[in-house]
């Protein structure tokens, strides 16, 4: 079955891609808005705003996933897109820092509910199992492409307009996404096998804590967040204040990291056919640790330069791709077909929990104690996550398909003693 021959999936995928790019462009514009409002303290503002985002993702995503089968899903997706479009439209009108915090809270609450809702809809539209697997992969590719192209598009746009105009474009994008959702035929949700909402929300998290390879992924989430926070939170102040760059230069430096991510992601499918996901992902963690240490040396030794920074940002992008790209494959191998949305939702929340730890370090400590102190702490967190992943994810975990997904899910969720012993 050709995936994009399915009309409803094609429209929903289009809605997801547009919403992703809307979020990516908003992130770039938000950093510049923070600099406009707070100047040298922009890192604190951006770090706090992104921390609010992570709180919303960690708290709201599992709750939304738990209750999604009780609501009309198409209406929910449309309303969430409309809310996000309205909030983005209001962001350039913010005159105080606290206005930004309130609006970001509303925006990210909508995004946190949108993702699990979208993931829950896909298996009801794409019923063929192999096509469903490709649909999950397509979503990952879309996320990777967004990380590259959003900063590039922002950089090009900023050569012709001020950053506040970016908010207008992203607001329109969310409305287009809403219209695409309206054009789809989304069936009513099937009742969950979990009688209580919290049981459904906790099922995926329980699978993570009882599966060795998924415990390893939780540790790798910390490594990704520690390295990524240097790029996401500190690029604005670093480029503007340390390198003396412009708004457009900020976007191009972010694009350097995205380029590394894309180049690695394009070559990984063939690599993963020959090399185990664990090997690729732990290698990625080593790359990220090296990238964060290089960033510390760069700033501590006063070696700041455009070329050096771009190289380090690219290395960090490559390391993130080496971890993020194979994650979906490992998640699918660790859960039955019916439990895949729950496991993906758990990863969504747990990965953002790691960012909730690292964003304040990059923002608050970076502003008050300097980049050297903040990046040293982040490098230590990256190393801790990389080390923990090696300990939690055994080298001889066995083939990723050694047990069928149904068997894994049945034993894990039922608390079968033999399974728990093997997972310990």
Written as one string, the DSSP assignment of 332-391 is: HHTS-GGGHHHHHHHHHHHHHHHHHHHHHIIIIIHHHT-HHHHHHHHHHHHHHHHHHHHH
pLDDT value, residue 416? 36
Q: Who's near 164: CB < 8 A, 6+ residues apart?
A: 29, 33, 92
Q: Average of pLDDT values for 168-173?
A: 86
pLDDT value, residue 155? 66
pLDDT of residue 423 exceeding 70, the answer is no
Task: Of 202, 190, 209, 204, give the one whose Cα is nearest residue 120.
Answer: 190
Q: Rounded to an integer, what distance in angstroms lies between the CA atom of residue 213 and that of residue 57?
A: 23
Q: Who's near 311: CB < 8 A, 6+ residues apart?
A: none
pLDDT value, residue 201? 61
Using left for φ > 0, alpha for ψ between -120 and 50, and beta otherwise, residue 39 falls in left
Could you tell me if 298 and 309 are in contact, meaning their C-beta atoms sit under 8 angstroms apart? Answer: yes
Q: Which one-letter DSSP state was computed for residue 239?
A: I
Q: Rounded to an integer, what distance in angstroms lies between the CA atom of residue 315 and that of residue 181?
A: 37
Could you tell me if 94 and 163 are in contact, meaning their C-beta atoms sit under 8 angstroms apart? Answer: no
Written as one string, the DSSP assignment of 13-59 is: HHHHHHHHHHHHHHHHHHHHHHHHHHGGGHHHHHHHHHHHHHHHHHH
Rg over alpha carbons for the chain, rounded to the nearest Å, is 21
Span of 25-34, 139-148, 316-325 with lowest mean pLDDT: 139-148
Contacts made by residues 124-129, CB under 8 angstroms, sequence distance 24+: 124/186, 124/187, 124/189, 124/190, 125/6, 125/8, 125/9, 125/12, 125/184, 125/186, 125/187, 126/3, 126/6, 126/9, 128/1, 129/337
Span of 105-109, 310-314, 332-336 with lowest mean pLDDT: 332-336
pLDDT of residue 215 exceeding 50, the answer is yes
Task: Give the best-scoring range by mean pLDDT among 153-162, 203-212, 242-251, 283-292.
Answer: 283-292
Q: Which residue has the higher pLDDT, 270 or 290?
A: 290
Q: Which one-letter DSSP state was computed for residue 395?
A: T
Could you tell me if 285 and 175 are in contact, meaning their C-beta atoms sit under 8 angstroms apart? Answer: no
Task: Give the best-scoring range by mean pLDDT among 251-265, 325-339, 383-397.
Answer: 383-397
Binned at pLDDT 50, 70 and 90, residue 192 comes out as: low
pLDDT value, residue 358? 93
pLDDT value, residue 63? 74
pLDDT value, residue 295? 96
Q: Average of pLDDT values for 395-424?
A: 40
- 287 burial level (CB within 10 Å; 0-12, 13-18, 19+): buried
Q: Average of pLDDT values for 131-137?
A: 70
Average pLDDT over the chain reads 80
Q: Average of pLDDT values for 13-36?
A: 81
pLDDT of residue 199 exceeding 60, the answer is yes
Residue 237, classed as helix, strand or coil, is helix
Tell me how far CA of residue 8 lies from CA of 13, 15, 180, 338, in angstroms: 9, 11, 9, 20
pLDDT of residue 264 exceeding 60, the answer is yes
pLDDT digit string, tens, across residues 55-66: 887 788 777 766
pLDDT digit string, tens, across residues 80-118: 999 999 988 888 888 788 888 888 888 888 888 887 788
Give the torsion sign (CA, 287, 278, 344, 22): positive
Could you tell me if 229 and 359 are in contact, meaning their C-beta atoms sit under 8 angstroms apart? Answer: yes
Residues of the chain with pLDDT > 70, as a percent, come to: 82
**Which tokens is 191 given?**
């009742």
């Amino acid at each position: 079955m050709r995936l994009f021959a399915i009309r409803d999936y094609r429209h929903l995928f289009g809605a997801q891609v547009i919403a992703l790019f809307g979020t990516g462009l908003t992130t770039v514009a938000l950093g510049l808005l923070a600099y406009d409002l707070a100047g040298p303290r922009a890192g604190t503002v951006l770090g706090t705003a992104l921390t609010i985002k992570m709180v919303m993702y960690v708290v709201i995503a599992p709750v939304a996933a738990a209750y999604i089968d009780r609501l009309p899903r198409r209406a929910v997706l449309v309303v969430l897109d409309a809310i996000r479009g309205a909030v983005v439209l209001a962001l350039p009108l913010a005159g105080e820092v606290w206005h930004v915090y309130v609006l970001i809270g509303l925006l990210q609450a909508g995004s946190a509910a949108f993702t699990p809702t979208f993931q829950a809809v896909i298996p009801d539209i794409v019923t063929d199992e192999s096509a469903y697997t490709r649909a999950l992969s397509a979503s990952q590719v879309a996320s990777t492409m967004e990380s590259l192209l959003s900063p590039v598009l922002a950089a090009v746009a900023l050569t012709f307009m001020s950053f506040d105009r970016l908010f207008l474009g992203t607001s329109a994008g969310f409305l287009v996404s809403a219209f695409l959702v309206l054009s789809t035929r989304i069936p009513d949700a099937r009742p969950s096998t979990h009688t209580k909402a919290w049981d459904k929300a906790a099922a995926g998290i329980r699978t993570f804590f009882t599966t060795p390879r998924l415990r390893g992924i939780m540790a790798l989430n910390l490594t990704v967040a520690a390295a990524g926070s240097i790029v996401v939170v500190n690029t604005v102040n670093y480029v503007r204040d340390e390198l003396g760059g412009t708004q457009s230069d900020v976007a191009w430096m972010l694009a350097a990291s995205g380029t590394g991510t894309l180049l690695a992601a394009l070559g990984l499918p063939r690599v993963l056919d020959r090399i185990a996901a664990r090997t690729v992902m732990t290698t990625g963690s080593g790359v990220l640790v090296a990238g964060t240490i290089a960033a510390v040396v760069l700033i501590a030794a006063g070696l700041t330069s455009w070329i050096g920074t771009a190289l380090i940002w690219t290395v960090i992008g490559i390391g993130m791709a080496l971890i993020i790209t194979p994650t979906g494959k490992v998640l699918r191998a660790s859960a039955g077909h019916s439990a895949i949305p729950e496991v993906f939702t758990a990863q969504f929340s747990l990965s953002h929990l790691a960012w909730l730890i690292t964003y304040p370090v990059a923002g608050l400590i970076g502003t008050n104690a300097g980049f050297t102190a903040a990046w040293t702490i982040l490098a230590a967190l990256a190393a801790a996550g990389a080390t923990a992943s090696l300990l939690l994810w055994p080298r001889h975990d066995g083939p990723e398909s050694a047990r069928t997904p149904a068997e894994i899910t049945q034993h894990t969720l039922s608390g079968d003693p033999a399974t728990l012993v093997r997972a310990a």
